[in-house]
Amino acid sequence: MADSPTDTLHRRGLMFILSSPSGAGKTTIARKLLEEDSQIGLSISATTRPPRPGEVDGRDYHFVSDAEFDRMVAEDEFYEWAHVFGHRYGTPKAHIRTGLKDGQDFLFDIDWQGTQQLAQKDKADVAAVFILPPSIEELHRRLVSRAQDSEAVIEDRMARAKAEISHWGEYDYIVINDDIDACFEEVRGILQAERLKRKRQTGLIDFVRGLMA
Ligand code: 5GP
């Protein structure tokens, strides 16, 4: 299919935030979006947590020492950072500002604390989506079916999930993940609509001048 004019006009990139309690499906949705949409790239966070099996430094996270994280904070290298589950996580600034100007969109898999900080700094560039589980029983079932964690860890995750859910009111969009494919289509629809916002389409003035000439 040929590009429509709005696909080729210059536009400013956006910071697309996906948050959810663990077990609500955020990781699957994020992965699918990155696979199927060439205009969005992942904002790779730095973290002091050790890598899990299969995680790759520089792809999943920048895994850094406490001392390195301290240095990055001191040198103001983070857009935002927060303590999450006993470790520190932060969004490095490098590339993001210039990327946005060039029309690159970034996907952020960050928690509510990071979302608040980004929204305070650059509200106009942010679209924040919160994914909810269809019920608390279903969330519990999904956490149990991962079979990775002990009952105590699952109970801890459930308590944290409820704390995370209490921040739903700070997000622009809420999607309930009853069915992963339907949920993905909704998230993709939000991304597409956000791209078409007039304020992001910085090439429109010249385009419309051309129409009226
Ligand atoms: P995990 O350790 O399971 O990869 O991530 C734990 C939590 O930290 C997730 O809720 C994730 O969204 C959040 N997180 C990951 N990177 C960042 C970041 O750069 N900033 C903030 N504020 N949260 C993050």
Report how far ligand 1's centroid is from the alpha carbon of 108 (Å): 9
**Residue-level pLDDT at 94:** 84
State phi, psi for 82 to the nearest 5 degrees.
-155, 160
Q: pLDDT, tens digit, for every residue of 129-161?
A: 999 999 999 999 988 887 666 888 888 889 999
**Residue-level pLDDT at 1:** 47
pLDDT at 69 over 80: yes
Q: Which residues pair with 80 in a beta bridge?
A: 91
Residues 104-110: what's their mean pLDDT?
96
Q: pLDDT, tens digit, for every residue of 154-207?
A: 888 899 999 999 999 999 999 999 999 999 999 999 999 999 999 999 999 999
Residue of the nearest CA to atom 15 in ligand 1?
110
Q: Is the CB of 111 within 6 Å of ligand 1?
A: yes
| Nearest residue to 177 via CA among 16, 15, 14, 21 | 21
Share of the chain above pLDDT 90, in %: 81
Give me the chain's average pLDDT, please. Answer: 92
**Ligand 1 pocket, mutate which of 52, 81, 89 (most atoms under 8 A from CB):** 89
**Residue-level pLDDT at 148:** 67
Say yes or no: domain 9-202 is CATH 3.40.50.300: yes
Residue of the nearest CA to atom 17 in ligand 1?
110
Q: What are the sequence ranges of the domains in the chain?
A: 9-202
**Residue 5 pLDDT level (bands cut at 50, 70, 90):** low
pLDDT at 2 over 60: no
Report how far ligand 1's centroid is from the alpha carbon of 201 (Å): 30
**Residue 6 pLDDT level (bands cut at 50, 70, 90):** low
**Residue-level pLDDT at 121:** 92
**Residue 97 pLDDT level (bands cut at 50, 70, 90):** confident
| Neighbouring residues of 122: CB distance < 8 A, sequence distance ≥ 6 | 15
Atom of ligand 1 nearest to the CA of 112: 22
**Residue-level pLDDT at 124:** 94
As a three-state string, the secondary structure of the chain is CCCCHHHHCCCCCCEEEEECCCCCCHHHHHHHHHHHCCCEEECCCEECCCCCCCCCECCCEEECCHHHHHHHHHCCCEEEEEEECCEEEEEECCCHHHHHHCCCEEEEECCHHHHHHHHHHHHHHEEEEEEECCCHHHHHHHHHHCCCCCHHHHHHHHHHHHHHHCCHHHCCEEEECCCHHHHHHHHHHHHHHHHCCHHHCCCHHHHHHHHHC
Q: Is the CB of 113 within 6 Å of ligand 1?
A: yes
| Neighbouring residues of 40: CB distance < 8 A, sequence distance ≥ 6 | 16, 33, 34, 105, 106, 107, 191
pLDDT at 70 over 70: yes
Q: Is the CB of 82 within 6 Å of ligand 1?
A: yes
Q: Is the CB of 49 within 6 Å of ligand 1?
A: yes
Q: Is the CB of 194 within 6 Å of ligand 1?
A: no
Q: Is the CB of 117 within 6 Å of ligand 1?
A: no
Largest pairwise CA distance in the chain:
68
Atom of ligand 1 nearest to the CA of 26: 12
